[in-house]
Homo-oligomer: A and B are copies of this chain.
Amino acid sequence: MKQNGFYAQSGGVTAVINATACGVIETARKKKDRIGKILAGRNGIIGALTEDLIDTSKESDRAIAALRYTPGGAFGSARYKLKGLEENRAEYQRLIEVFKAHNIGYFFYNGGGDSMDTAHKVSQIGQKLGFPVTCIGIPKTVDNDLPLTDTCPGFGSVAKYVALATREAALDVASMAKTSTKVFILEVMGRHAGWIAAAGGLAGHNQSDAPHIILFPEIPFNTPHFLARVKKCVDRYGYCVIVVSEGVRHPNGRFLAESGIHDAFGHAQLGGVAATVATLVKEKLGLKYHYAIADYLQRSARHIASKVDVEQAYAVGKKAVEFALKGHNAVMPIIVRTSDSPYRWTIKHAPLSRVANKEKMMPRSFISRDGFSITKACRRYLEPLIRGEDYPPYQKGLPRYAELRNVPVQRQLDKNFVLR
């Protein structure tokens, strides 16, 4: 008897995670003879634990197709990490119980490193408990930190957004610098790795082009070095554009964002690194600044998603179903680059055991010697990932994004499961 598939989104969402959902569901619909319904977890894995499943078969083909161009997580995502098998066996057992109750033989888990680890563990425990489940981890993360894959779906679109925002804001600043703002700071995501900040570097080509300074989490912040560079830049070009990663740290390891700003109640202000850098520029150089904090805008900007990223996000979803039906278990589809220019790629798979809990850091060779810009090697890597536009349809001036019905599946189990 054919079995159903379970699909869940995990961790921070992206502009294209729904394109992956679209790839999973559309592919499963084409293989109806081999796989049953795709049931989605409402709020990710929490939906599986609490038996709160969404029946995606209730959505029209048109609604599912619209997922391809809809940002956010259509079924809800969750920041909920399953612990180790020994520490919290009950959660894994519950998953298997729910899967059994709903005849789920395929587990598609769309997330980052932690989720790959969970998918790996579920594949092990299912076997042990006598209900084997085919587990496929599907890569997703704006942080671009999964190993083995050329890039992670979600990253290319953030990269494009950040490069574009830097270029546009720089044109604004350049035209006003004579009498107004001299230093502009754009704060971007990336607490551990500088991939997103690096993408800002694509905005310019020459030394005189913005961004003039990129602050990477990989490079300890050197205050005098930084200030000297800002000053030199303003003296030479009239203005200075800085892209700063939220994860930049002092040499002692402390985040810049925590550098002693307090609110009216005396609590540390989590105002972010941009405000800190701006204050420094003002205090030490007396230069007028402005700053922008892209925050969620950068990872939800589906309106300017990278076409390559959308295609890859869809492809990993499609391939996840195909790999599962071919009998591959405990694997993750990976993007393999076969050529830089023109960019060519194909989808292969890697065992989850080799992916789980490993972070791909940015190579030092991608950052210039002075620590303030990207190298040619980095540009060669990044440039293909932001190629192409993939505009959503518009209605009355705004994108017409998918609105799913998210119909719940009838519960089969008596017990409620209490989340930690």
Contact = CB atoms under 8 A, between A and B. Distances in A.
B267 A269 contact: no
Interface in A386-413: 386-389, 391, 394, 396-399, 401
A101 interface: no
A269 B271 CA distance: 10
Given A269-B275, A295-B292, A175 B9 contact: yes
A174 interface: yes
A169 B283 CA distance: 33
A249 interface: no
A179 B296 contact: no
A290 interface: yes
Contacts of A275: 269, 271-272, 275
A302 interface: yes
Interface in A158-176: 160, 163-165, 167-176
Interface residues of A, number: 81
Interface string A303-327: 1101000000000000000000000
Contact of A71 (B72, B171, B269): B171
A141 interface: no
A351 interface: no
Nearest to A394: B389
Contacts of A347: none
A398 B178 CA distance: 26
Contacts of A261: 261-264, 269, 271
A76 B164 contact: no
A388 B398 contact: no
A59 to B, nearest CB: 16
A302 B168 contact: yes
A265 B383 CA distance: 41
A291 interface: yes
B387 A389 contact: no
A186 to B, nearest CB: 8
A176 B78 CA distance: 6
A420 to B, nearest CB: 11
A73 interface: yes
So how many copies of this chain end up in the complex?
A: 2
A136 interface: no
Contact of A303 (B164, B184, B262, B265): B164
Contact of A397 (B163, B165, B172): B163
A70 interface: yes
B294 A265 contact: no
Nearest to A278: B270
Contacts of A167: 398-399, 401
A375 interface: no
Contacts of A43: 178-179
A306 B264 contact: no
Interface in A1-25: 9, 12-13, 15
Nearest to A265: B283
Nearest to A184: B296
A233 to B, nearest CB: 17
Given A72-B168, A167-B401, 4 more contacts: A79-B179, A164-B303, A383-B396, A386-B396
For the complex of A and B, the 7 pairs showing the least CB-CB separation, nearest first, are A72-B171, A73-B175, A260-B264, A386-B397, A292-B295, A168-B300, A172-B300
